[in-house]
Amino acid sequence: MHVMLLSCCVLVFLLSGPCFTAPTVTPEEDEITPSPEPQVDFKLATDYLQQYYNLRKDPLVRMKRSGPSFTSKVKDMQIFFGLNATGMLDSETVEVMRSPRCGVPDVEEYNHSQGSRWNKNVITYSIGRYTRDLPRNTVDSLIESAFSIWARASSLTFVRSHTRSADIMVEFVTNAHGDLYPFDGPRGTLAHAFGPGLGVGGDTHFDDDERWTAGGAGFNLYVVAAHEFGHALGLKHSRNPESLMYPTYRSLRPANLLSREDVANINALYNPVRIHPNYVLTSGSSFNPWLSGSLFPRFMQDKCAPDLTFDAVSTVGDATFFFRERYLWIKHNEQFGIKEGPITNFMPKIETSIDAAFWIPRRSTAYLIHESMFWTVKGSIVKGKPRALSHFGFPAWVQDVDAAVHIVKTGRTLFFMHDIYWSYNENRKVMDFGYPKYISEDFPGVNTTINAAFYKEGFIYFFVGPQVYKYDYTQKHVVGVEKANSWLGC
């Protein structure tokens, strides 16, 4: 088992009022002033520096606040937090040391460099235990919005899953909660996240002893979650106070949480080499560098073309995937933005076009078909090698299908080929008796080859060239026709 290094948030809550008047401590005061407060501060600082800045522990040597090692470590801490690097325990330094924070050493974790990364661009997340402070739908919305700020600034796509096998598990917990990093009650460590990887990699925990809110009171869940998800994606803390990845909690932030540094760092992890060397990011803007330049310009310009067609359309988690040749558009069902790019950008194992696709909600699994083979996609991960289409019980002469769709109500998956179709029983894992049948007989009004099919709320949407037929599966007739490009917001 790999031991994961916790990329943990140092969400330090700084008092909004003036600093308290803890006296500046000097070596002379150690001997002249018998006041207990400097001694308390010195012990606090010693413990703090030993835990976070590798101050050497030597029980045989009496630690002195004027010692070179102690002073050097104080300076390291002051430099990191942007304080006046005097090496002395002034009031600002002691205030930060007294402030709640996590247990990961600053000298190892909190720097500008990036760490590990996910080896894919479609990342799943799931919400386990909720907080009692906010309605569940509010938590869902704030978590989705926190992921969205990273999605808008990069090529990443986040798909919500409802299983515990998601890449990033989000949970609200208290005290010891099974990961060896217990929380410490109100106003202490607010949250922590593990860096990308297997097992607990990416998992993000929020201390439910805090008061979580959607506004300025308490601790703003959106702000904290956005910071934590930066860690879950592989980013470390920044020393730049303008950065979202700066360790100090601040509820008052600009509308666009990400600084230019944050955007540059996330793209350094997930979009190497595709940024033009002279590209300048303007303040407050968000961008997707791997879509800039001449990469697939025809597809991008033709997204709203009136003759746009799709090869396959399917739900995958909380998003809809639109395939055309070796290109893919991803539309989150609750968002307006659309991600796009070569299929391999999102699923590196798939280097071909997709002819048909369907989604089975109860398994949280999608099946992507190319000619006589298909891939199984769980969450955002392509599982294993492609398998033969004959797995579904097709006769040997069937080497491809035009479209596929799963009907939740009946538990059947329908496969369309030219003018005929099959019905596959997903519960018994066999083809239904009496198939194939003619499409025109069982689907009146649909008298042509189907490019793609999609099921939603009792309707099957048949994509036929640039048009989409809305078919009432219960009443057995076409109830409307629309343009395929309208599904991409055109």
CB 269 within 8 A of CB 114: yes
How much is the pLDDT for 294?
Answer: 28
DSSP 227-267: HHHHHHTT----S-TTSTTSSEE-S---SS---HHHHHHHH
Q: Compute the radius of gyration of the chain from its Cα atoms.
A: 28
Ramachandran angles phi, psi of 463, nearest 5°:
-90, 115
Is 47 a known ligand-binding residue? no
How much is the pLDDT for 293?
Answer: 29
Ramachandran angles phi, psi of 16, nearest 5°:
-80, -20
Distance from C-alpha of 321 to C-alpha of 332, rounded to nearest angstrom: 9
Examine the pLDDT at 482 and tell me if it is beyond 60: yes
Is 30 a known ligand-binding residue? no
373-424 pLDDT, tens digit each: 999 998 668 888 899 998 999 988 888 899 999 999 899 999 998 888 999 9
Lowest mean pLDDT among 145-154, 244-253, 345-354, 459-468: 244-253
> What is the residue extent of each domain of the chain?
6-109, 122-270, 297-488
How much is the pLDDT for 209?
Answer: 92
pLDDT classification of 53: cutoffs 50, 70, 90: confident
What element of type H or E holds 454?
strand 452-456
Examine the pLDDT at 180 and tell me if it is beyond 70: yes
pLDDT classification of 187: cutoffs 50, 70, 90: confident
- The residues assigned a catalytic role are 228
Is 177 a known ligand-binding residue? yes
Examine the pLDDT at 177 and tell me if it is beyond 50: yes
* CB environment 73-85: b (16+ within 10 A), e (fewer): bbbbbbebbebee
Q: Which comes out higher in pLDDT, residue 13 or 413?
A: 413
Is 179 a known ligand-binding residue? yes
How much is the pLDDT for 287?
Answer: 30
CB 467 within 8 A of CB 484: yes
Does domain 122-270 fall under CATH 3.30.980.10? My reply is no
Is 245 a known ligand-binding residue? yes
Residue 276: other Cβ atoms inside 10 A: 9
Query: Which of 15, 22, 171 is CA-nearest to residue 100?
Result: 15
Is 318 a known ligand-binding residue? no
Phi-psi region of 223 (alpha: psi -120 to 50; beta: other; left: phi over 0): alpha
Does domain 6-109 fall under CATH 1.10.101.10? My reply is yes
Is 227 a known ligand-binding residue? yes
How much is the pLDDT for 28?
Answer: 37
How much is the pLDDT for 67?
Answer: 56
105-148 pLDDT, tens digit each: 566 543 333 448 898 888 999 999 999 999 999 999 999 989 98
Distance from C-alpha of 474 to C-alpha of 46, rounded to nearest angstrom: 73
- Please report, for residues 72, 134, 212, the alpha-carbon distance to residue 221 in angstroms, rounded to integers and kept in the order given: 36, 10, 6
Examine the pLDDT at 357 and tell me if it is beyond 50: yes
Q: Tokens for 255, please give them.
A: 């509308």
Is 205 a known ligand-binding residue? yes
What residues contact residue 411 under an 8 Å CB cut-off, 6+ apart?
Answer: 425, 426, 427
Q: Which comes out higher in pLDDT, residue 271 or 232?
A: 232
Distance from C-alpha of 483 to C-alpha of 397, rounded to nearest angstrom: 34
CB 368 within 8 A of CB 354: yes
Which DSSP state fits 372?
T
User: What is the mean predicted confidence (pLDDT) over 226-238?
Assistant: 87
Is 276 a known ligand-binding residue? no
**HSE, side-chain direction, 13 A CA sphere, residue 248:** 18
How much is the pLDDT for 174?
Answer: 92
332-346 pLDDT, tens digit each: 766 556 788 888 888
pLDDT classification of 323: cutoffs 50, 70, 90: very high
Chain-centroid distance of CA 86 in Å reads 40
| 6-109 and 122-270 share one fold | no
How much is the pLDDT for 172?
Answer: 95
Phi-psi region of 469 (alpha: psi -120 to 50; beta: other; left: phi over 0): beta
Distance from C-alpha of 71 to C-alpha of 87, rounded to nearest angstrom: 5
What residues contact residue 363 under an 8 Å CB cut-off, 6+ apart?
Answer: none
CATH of domain 297-488: 2.110.10.10
Highest mean pLDDT (candidates 85-99, 182-196, 219-233): 219-233
Examine the pLDDT at 38 and tell me if it is beyond 50: yes
pLDDT classification of 184: cutoffs 50, 70, 90: confident
Q: Which comes out higher in pLDDT, residue 409 or 251?
A: 409
Query: Average pLDDT over the chain, rounded to whole?
Result: 78
Q: Which comes out higher in pLDDT, residue 85 or 181?
A: 85
Is 178 a known ligand-binding residue? no
Q: Tokens for 399, please give them.
A: 């080497």
User: What is the mean predicted confidence (pLDDT) over 192-203?
Assistant: 87
CB 339 within 8 A of CB 352: no
Q: Which comes out higher in pLDDT, residue 440 or 13?
A: 440
Residue type, 281: L
Residue 20: other Cβ atoms inside 10 A: 10
Is 201 a known ligand-binding residue? yes
**HSE, side-chain direction, 13 A CA sphere, residue 278:** 1
pLDDT classification of 78: cutoffs 50, 70, 90: confident
User: What is the mean predicted confidence (pLDDT) over 256-270?
Assistant: 85
CB 130 within 8 A of CB 94: no
